[in-house]
Amino acid sequence: MAASGIAPRILCIGIPVRDLTFRVEAVPARGSKANANHLAEICGGNALNAAIAIARLGGRVSFAGPMGDARETSSGFILAQMAQEGINTSHIVRMPDATTPVSAIMIEPSGERTLTIYRDPGLWSVQMPKADELLADCRAVLVESRCGAFCSDLCAEARRRGIAVIVGVDRAMSLQDGLLTAASHLLFASEQVQETAGVADDGMALQRLAALTPAFLAATRGPLGTIWLNEAGELEETPAFPVQAVDTLGAGDVFHGAFALGLVEGGDVRRALRFAAAAAALKCTRHGGGMAAPQRIEVEEFLRGRS
């Protein structure tokens, strides 16, 4: 919580997704069929999962980005879920005749997930609201890396205003991507940092990228924890908390949301990374993707038990 007693506001930018999740004993072989033992319909997407985490952890959240036509059912379902979480949706842009993304996700008993997703190419033609509207009373911007095409200029303007810009990277970035230099913090997944840098080692990849961006750089590695570069350019590691994982879907997004909130609440990166690791660990112990993000009291109790 901010010193004023008012929770900081974070703007999340992304493309929401309607997720259909199937729990299976094993992903079926090509051309075969398999019965699922559980079905759930939830809302998802990287930035939306992070927004849910931020809201449950005590932050104020606004969401911006494109969604499908107002007549379709998927967008209505997602907006209703966002309202229940207390997320401000007034900056979402409805795209006429476009389709909100839908994914089918198979989750194995180990928690590992396999998914396929459809994203309408027309969503990337969105015209975002003006910067003054989006950035008013904003302490940080958290954005999906895939959204750079329509929000890099906004993120650069946020940095000019002294607002932190946290980018959650879940796919390889082009070295010419505007978010690479517009970000204040780049949070990669291990595979993506290696693909982006062209180096098959997380630490070496981070060091190579440090020559291209002034941003804080980190790579998450699931149960192996997070590796990151400190201000001296030295590699440090924040361990993950060991838990019995049942569903890893959305864990990285919850990590990003918790990190952003921990950062703007005045914590240094070490504290923010530990807070994020705890939130992500708790999420992995329950089914539901980002909808299984923990409440603030749960994370604080979890950390007290491991202090």
In eight-state DSSP terms, residue 290 is G
b/e string for 137-152 if b means 16 or more Cβ within 10 A? Answer: ebbbbbbbbbbbebbb
106 has which bridge partners? 22, 114
Question: What Rg do the C-alpha atoms of the chain give, in angstroms?
Answer: 18
Confidence (pLDDT) at 178: 94
Reduced DSSP (H G I as helix, E B as strand, rest coil) percent helix, strand, coil of the chain, to 5: 40, 25, 40
Contact present, 47 and 63 (Cβ < 8 Å): yes
Confidence (pLDDT) at 23: 94
Cα 105 to Cα 25: distance, rounded to the nearest angstrom = 13
Confidence (pLDDT) at 6: 78
Contact present, 281 and 293 (Cβ < 8 Å): no
- The 8 Å CB, 24+ separation contacts for 267-271 are 269/216, 269/228, 269/230, 270/236, 270/238
Q: How far is the first Cα of the chain from the last one, in angstroms, to the nearest whole number?
A: 20
Contact present, 59 and 10 (Cβ < 8 Å): yes
Confidence (pLDDT) at 307: 73
Q: How many CB atoms lie within 10 A of CB 7?
A: 19
Q: Residue 121, SS3?
A: helix
174 has which bridge partners? none
Among the listed residues 245, 278, 281, 294, the one whose alpha carbon sits nearest the alpha carbon of residue 107 = 245
Contact present, 87 and 53 (Cβ < 8 Å): no
Q: What are the two backbone dihedrals, phi and then psi, of residue 256, each rounded to the nearest 5 degrees?
A: -60, -45
Confidence (pLDDT) at 4: 53
Contact present, 9 and 62 (Cβ < 8 Å): yes
Confidence (pLDDT) at 5: 67
Domains and CATH numbers, the chain: 9-304 (3.40.1190.20)
Question: How many degrees, rounded to 5, is the angle at CA 155 between CA 63 and CA 120?
Answer: 55
Q: Residue 43, SS3?
A: strand
pLDDT tens digits for the chain (307 residues)? 444 567 889 999 999 999 999 999 999 999 999 899 999 999 999 999 999 999 999 999 999 999 999 899 999 999 999 999 999 999 999 999 999 999 999 999 998 889 999 999 999 999 999 999 999 999 999 999 999 999 999 999 999 999 999 999 989 999 999 999 999 999 999 999 999 999 999 999 999 999 999 999 999 999 999 999 999 999 999 999 999 999 998 999 999 999 999 999 987 999 999 999 999 999 999 999 899 999 999 999 999 998 7
User: What is the bridge-based pairing of β-strands 235-238 and 226-229?
Assistant: antiparallel
Cα 87 to Cα 65: distance, rounded to the nearest angstrom = 13
Cα 149 to Cα 111: distance, rounded to the nearest angstrom = 32
